[in-house]
């Protein structure tokens, strides 16, 4: 039973938590672990009743203030407590079940060496699967933790380790933290240690990644140190959590989690093969994103889940800024424009769009539904606008005041805006109403009006809002910047001052520095000019904004896919900013074929994309990272079986890719899609690469084979697993519906909408939402798919599944509209 907001308010008014003392025993086998919780709390109304969250396998004993409580007090995931005193001590001993879907105490076995790894992932409503607790964000308390584990294991927790004897690990008491930040990681982890500015640092990963960890630790330590220096300067408050460990764990459902003192990451961030600069940049952004939370989210925590956006939006904003200003990855904002913002624009035009703030979260699980492109990049863009609106110094003064006023406590959007108003002297109600409390994205179009330029702002008709934009506009001709001017847009038509064109521009780019959240409109004349203009524009941010306008124009039905492909052919080989190069390549190869291009037109589109990739691959004097991006593009799109076979065997490859298992699997995956490899051959490749990555890549390749037998086997794995593995299921879901195998997958479209929701009884909410989102048959661009989705939406669905179906159906309609108009 998910905690209701009304219940959390009643419980907050009744009790105050003093401390947790948690002991976990990981020596009981592969199914269960022991959990003992001693919970001290005060009750403001003695004699009252309340409950703690507890989802045990079996209860050993429950004692409240010295009185034994019967097991019948545990019902529907709650332990009910009656007759509370002013000061209370609850002691619960139980055996708990390990989980395999990432929501609770995750148990994972590395297939490469058979060794076990554990980590606690409480999410918003799973802490009760690990220990007895008051599971809501505004009942924070200090933790003392002890863990019994096999003697050859390392154990990492929020607090620093203080003692280890006979396999019993003890940890220092933490500062007050919320239940969803509690974690323990245990297993035969490899470790690299360091120190920065008096802060003890540790980086952990599976033993089979020890060599890779050793090779990559210096870069992670460097980014970590740069992050600490930046945040100490920005926040004006030293890191408050003692030591700082970063644990790269297997089968993690999220990208990372900001547990104070013990951040957990997907272990794919310890790169198993050659990685592009874009991948290194992404890892740096994620590292400093989680670090930003140590203050904004951990030190000051939201009062309830409806303000989760503030934690994530702020960390997203500061992570981009920190990466761009404090690390070697100065192109972070360009990457944000090309990748993160386009994710957000798609979310904001979907029927499931919602305001950045103020979205109702009636229960704890509902919070997870809005962890999307609105909460992250749109929220970050709004905060970037707020900084521009108020001025950087004033904005930071407000942030520091907010943190100092609420440190180790909880706060709300109202508290944040109060701090900003106090720092600036401005009433921010109107700004907040337009930016934070109203959904939708404005469209900006720049027009030449005589000898002046006018910006036309169009707000969504069904969500009118007054959003001021602090931004700019730039004019180009022959790739040369003819002029640029700052502009503050607070009306539907705004005349731009200070832009002396001097010549007739071929291309006008509103929001050229990408400071605001708005889609740039491209008329037909501008679209015709882009193949010539874009390759010659020297400013990478402008190039990113133009690409974004093209890609969103595809979705809005204002840009012909053939035009976008012409631009790709003309401009992509000249792109030198590698994250932008990679972002455009991913969109061109994964989203346009079979979606914006019909099945009949897809083979020729793929051929052109592959040819462009080979053009870059054969250029002289380019970086290995650019060459890697080009090689991956060719591997995803080429139908040249002879070339792909040679690459799989290690022939005719760039030298740096010889022996790279990850690249080889990309090639094998494409051969599988073409029907050129079978199960036996995939088995032989997996024998050469028994790693976790190899297992997942092999599953993906088998799923992509275009035969009835392969699809039947993959579907059975997805829907009938007795012991589901989250990453293996994700590998099946993400690769099941392709654009070239529809004669075999079309019968499964109806089954997708009928059978996937039924997995809610066996899979966690987060995993099921992930599978239905990644597996949605968005490439089967047919009216029948829309009708089946609508039929499913007319019935009862788990909340996360409904959100996936709504968003997937919206994308399908975009693809259908484009194919009908331009196909």
Q: Which of 215, 204, 180 is closest to 267 using CA atoms?
A: 204
Convert the pLDDT of each residue in 246-293 to its tens digit. Answer: 999 999 988 999 999 999 999 999 999 899 999 999 999 999 999 999
Residue 253's pLDDT is what? 87
pLDDT score for 740: 86
Q: What is the distance between the alpha carbons of residues 294 and 291, in angstroms, rounded to a whole number?
A: 5
Q: Domain containing 586: what range?
A: 530-639
499 and 457 within one domain: yes
Q: Which two tokens stand for residue 441?
A: 């994205």
pLDDT of residue 364: 80
- Give residue 323's pLDDT: 98
pTM attached to this predicted model:
0.95
Q: Which residue has the tokens 């009884």?
A: 761
Question: Nearest CA to 578 among 524, 616, 521, 531?
Answer: 616
- Is 671 domain-assigned? no
For the record, the structure tokens of 768 come out as 């099921």
Please report which confidence band the pLDDT of residue 450 belongs to, taking 50, 70 and 90 as the band edges: confident
Cross-sheet strand order for the sheet of 507-510:
480-489, 469-477, 507-510
Torsion angle, CA of 368/369/373/376, rounded to 10 degrees? -30
Cα–Cα distance for residue pair 83/93, rounded to 1 Å: 20
Rg (C-alpha) for the chain, rounded Å, is 27
Please tell me the distance from the alpha carbon of residue 601 to that of residue 624, in angstroms, as a whole number.
Answer: 32
DSSP 3-state of 412: coil
Looking at 85-94, 327-336, 584-593, which range is the least confident one? Answer: 584-593
pLDDT at 363: 85
Q: Is the domain of 95 the same as that of 214?
A: yes
First-to-last alpha carbon distance for the chain, in angstroms, is 49
CATH code of the domain covering residue 104 = 2.60.40.1730
Residues 391 and 460 in one domain: no
Residues 219 and 199 reside in one and the same domain: yes
- What is the per-residue DSSP string for 253-296? SSSEE--TTEEEEEGGGS-SS---HHHHHHHHHHHHHHHHHTTB
Kindly tell me the burial class for residue 473, based on how many C-beta atoms sit within 10 Å of its own C-beta (0-12, 13-18, 19 or more).
buried
Q: Same domain, yes or no, for 151 and 243? A: yes
What is the structure's pLDDT at 762? Answer: 84
- Cα dist. 522→299, 480, 823 in Å? 44, 18, 20
Task: Give me the residue label for tokens 């297992």.
Answer: 695
In a domain, 647, yes or no: no
284 shares its domain with 144: yes
State yes or no: pLDDT of 312 exceeds 90: yes
Q: How far is CA 1 from CA 52, 303, 438, 537, 738, in A?
A: 12, 20, 31, 56, 37
The reply to whether 237 and 260 lie within a common domain is: yes
Find the mean pLDDT for residues 63-87: 96
648 domain-assigned: no
Q: Closest by alpha carbon to 360, among 409, 304, 310? A: 304
Note whether residue 690 is domain-resident: no
> What is the model's pLDDT at position 590?
87
* CA gap 157, 189 in Å, rounded: 13
Look at residue 699 and tell me if it is in a domain.
no
**136 and 274 housed in the same domain:** yes
Question: What is the spatial order of strands in the sheet that 50-53 belongs to?
Answer: 50-53, 78-81, 74-75
Distance (Å, whole) CA 816 – CA 809: 10
Query: 428 with 378, same domain?
Result: yes
Position 764 confidence tier, pLDDT thresholds 50, 70, 90? confident
Looking at the DSSP assignment, which residues form a beta bridge with residue 205?
A: 190
Co-location of 745 and 627 in the same domain: no
In a domain, residue 773? The reply is yes
How many domains does the structure of the chain reveal?
Answer: 5
Mean pLDDT of 37-62: 97
DSSP bridge pairs for 477: 480
CB atoms within 10 A of CB 389: 20
Instruction: Answer yes or no: are the C-beta atoms of 287 and 227 closer than 8 Å.
Output: yes
- Asked if residue 672 is part of any domain, the answer here is no
Is 703 within 8 Å of 710 (Cβ atoms)?
yes
Mean pLDDT of the chain: 94
Is 97's pLDDT higher than 90?
yes
Same domain, 224 and 357: no
User: What pLDDT score was predicted for residue 451?
Assistant: 78
Distance set, CA 627 to CA 510, 614, 622, 743 (Å): 32, 9, 7, 35
For residues 710 and 716, what is the distance between their CA atoms, to the nearest angstrom? 10
116 close to 109: Cβ distance less than 8 angstroms? yes
d(CA 269, CA 286): 9
Q: Which of 385, 404, 435 is the last residue of a domain?
A: 435
Same domain (yes/no): 454, 347: no
Tokens describing residue 625: 């990272």
Q: Of 581, 612, 639, which closes a domain?
A: 639
Of 541, 550, 498, 495, which Cα lies nearest the Cα of 520? 550
Tokens 């139908």 sit on residue: 639
Interior angle at CA 588, CA 587 and CA 589, nearest 5? 95
Q: Are strands 15-25 and 143-148 parallel, antiparallel or unpaired?
A: parallel
- Give the closest residue to 317 by CA, choosing from 515, 600, 109: 515
CATH number at residue 319: 1.10.390.10
Q: Identify the pLDDT of residue 365.
A: 78
Q: How many C-alpha atoms does 816 have within 13 Å on its Cβ side? A: 15
Q: Is a pLDDT exceeding 90 seen at residue 485?
A: yes
| Residue 78 near residue 52, CB atoms below 8 Å | yes
Residue 694 lies in a domain: no
Distance CA 128, CA 120 (A): 11
| Percentage helix, strand, coil for the chain under 3-state DSSP, each rounded to 5 | 50, 20, 30
Which of 619, 639, 659 lies at the terminal end of a domain, its last residue?
639
Q: Which strand ranges, in their side-by-side order, compose the sheet holding 244-249?
A: 190-196, 199-205, 244-249, 262-266, 256-257
Express as a percent the part of the chain with pLDDT over 90.
87
């Amino acid at each position: 039973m998910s905690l209701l907001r009304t219940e959390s308010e009643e419980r907050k008014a009744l009790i105050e938590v003093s401390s947790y003392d948690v002991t976990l025993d990981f020596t009981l086998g592969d199914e269960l672990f022991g959990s003992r919780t001693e919970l001290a709390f005060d009750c403001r109304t003695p004699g009252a009743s309340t409950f703690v969250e507890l989802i045990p396998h079996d209860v050993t004993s429950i004692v409240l203030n010295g009185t034994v409580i019967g097991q019948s007090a545990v019902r529907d995931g709650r332990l009910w407590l009656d007759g509370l005193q002013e000061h209370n001590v609850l002691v619960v001993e139980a055996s708990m079940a390990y989980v395999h879907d990432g929501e609770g105490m995750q148990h994972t076995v590395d297939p490469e060496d058979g060794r076990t790894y554990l980590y606690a992932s409480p999410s918003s409503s799973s802490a009760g699967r690990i220990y007895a607790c008051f599971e809501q964000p505004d009942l924070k308390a200090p933790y003392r933790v002890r863990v019994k584990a096999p003697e050859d294991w390392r154990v990492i927790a929020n607090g620093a380790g203080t003692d280890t004897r006979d396999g019993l690990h003890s940890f220092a008491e933490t500062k007050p933290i919320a239940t969803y930040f509690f974690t323990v990681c245990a297993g035969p982890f490899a470790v690299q240690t360091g120190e920065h500015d008096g802060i003890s640092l540790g980086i952990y990963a599976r033993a089979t990644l020890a060599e890779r960890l050793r090779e990559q630790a210096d870069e992670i330590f460097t980014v970590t140190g740069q992050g600490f220096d930046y945040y100490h300067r920005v926040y004006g408050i030293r890191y408050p959590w003692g030591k700082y460990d970063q644990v790269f764990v297997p089968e993690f459902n999220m990208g990372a989690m900001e547990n104070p003192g013990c951040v957990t990451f997907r272990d794919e961030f310890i790169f198993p093969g050659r990685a592009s600069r874009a991948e290194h940049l992404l890892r740096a952004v994620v590292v400093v994103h989680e670090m930003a939370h140590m203050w904004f989210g951990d030190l000051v925590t939201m009062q309830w889940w409806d303000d989760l956006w503030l934690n994530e939006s702020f960390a997203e904003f500061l992570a981009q800024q920190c990466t761009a200003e404090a690390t070697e990855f100065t192109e972070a904002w360009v990457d944000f424009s090309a990748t993160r913002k386009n994710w957000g624009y798609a979310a904001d035009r979907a029927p499931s769009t919602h305001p950045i703030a103020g979205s109702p979260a009636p229960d704890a699980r509902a919070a997870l539904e809005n962890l999307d492109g609105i909460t992250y990049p749109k929220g970050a863009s709004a905060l970037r606008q707020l900084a521009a609106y108020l001025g950087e110094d004033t904005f930071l003064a407000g942030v520091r005041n907010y943190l100092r006023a609420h440190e180790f406590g909880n706060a709300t959007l109202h508290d944040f805006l109060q701090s900003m108003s106090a720092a600036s002297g401005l009433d921010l109600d109107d700004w907040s109403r337009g930016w934070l409390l109203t959904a939708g994205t404005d469209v900006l179009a720049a027009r030449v009006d005589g000898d002046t330029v006018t910006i036309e702002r169009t707000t969504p008709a069904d969500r009118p809002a007054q959003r001021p934009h602090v931004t700019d506009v730039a004019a180009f001709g022959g790739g040369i910047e003819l002029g640029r001017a700052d502009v503050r847009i607070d009306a539907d038509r705004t005349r731009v001052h200070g832009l002396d064109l001097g010549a007739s521009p071929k291309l006008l780019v509103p929001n050229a520095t990408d400071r605001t959240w708005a889609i740039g409109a491209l008329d037909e004349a501008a679209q015709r000019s882009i193949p010539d203009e874009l390759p010659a524009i020297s400013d990478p941010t402008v190039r990113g904004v133009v690409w974004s306008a093209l890609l969103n124009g595809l979705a809005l039905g204002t840009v012909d896919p053939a035009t976008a492909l012409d631009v790709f052919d003309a401009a992509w080989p000249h792109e030198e900013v590698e994250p932008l190069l990679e972002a455009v390549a991913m969109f061109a190869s994964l989203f346009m074929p079979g979606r914006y291009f019909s099945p009949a037109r897809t083979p020729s589109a793929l051929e052109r994309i592959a040819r462009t990739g080979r053009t870059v691959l054969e250029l002289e004097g380019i970086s290995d990272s650019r060459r890697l991006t080009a090689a991956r593009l060719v591997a995803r799109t080429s139908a040249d079986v002879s070339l792909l076979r040679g690459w799989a065997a290690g022939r005719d490859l760039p030298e740096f890719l010889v022996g790279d298992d990850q690249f080889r699997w990309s090639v094998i995956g494409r051969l599988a899609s073409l029907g050129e490899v079978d199960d036996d051959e995939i088995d032989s490749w997996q024998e050469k690469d028994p790693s976790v990555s190899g297992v997942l890549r092999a599953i993906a390749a088998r799923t992509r084979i275009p035969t009835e037998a392969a699809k039947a086997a993959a579907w059975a794995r997805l829907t009938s697993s007795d012991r589901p593995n989250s990453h293996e299921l994700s590998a099946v879901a993400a690769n099941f519906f392709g654009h070239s195998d529809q004669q075999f997958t079309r019968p499964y479209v109806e089954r997708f909408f009928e059978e996937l929701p039924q997995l809610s009884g066996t899979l966690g909410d987060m995993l099921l939402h992930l599978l239905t989102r990644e597996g949605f048959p968005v490439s089967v661009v047919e009216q029948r798919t829309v009708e089946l989705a609508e039929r499913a939406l007319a019935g009862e669905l788990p909340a996360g599944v409904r959100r996936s179906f709504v968003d997937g159906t919206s994308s399908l309609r975009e693809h259908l509209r484009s194919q009908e108009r331009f196909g």
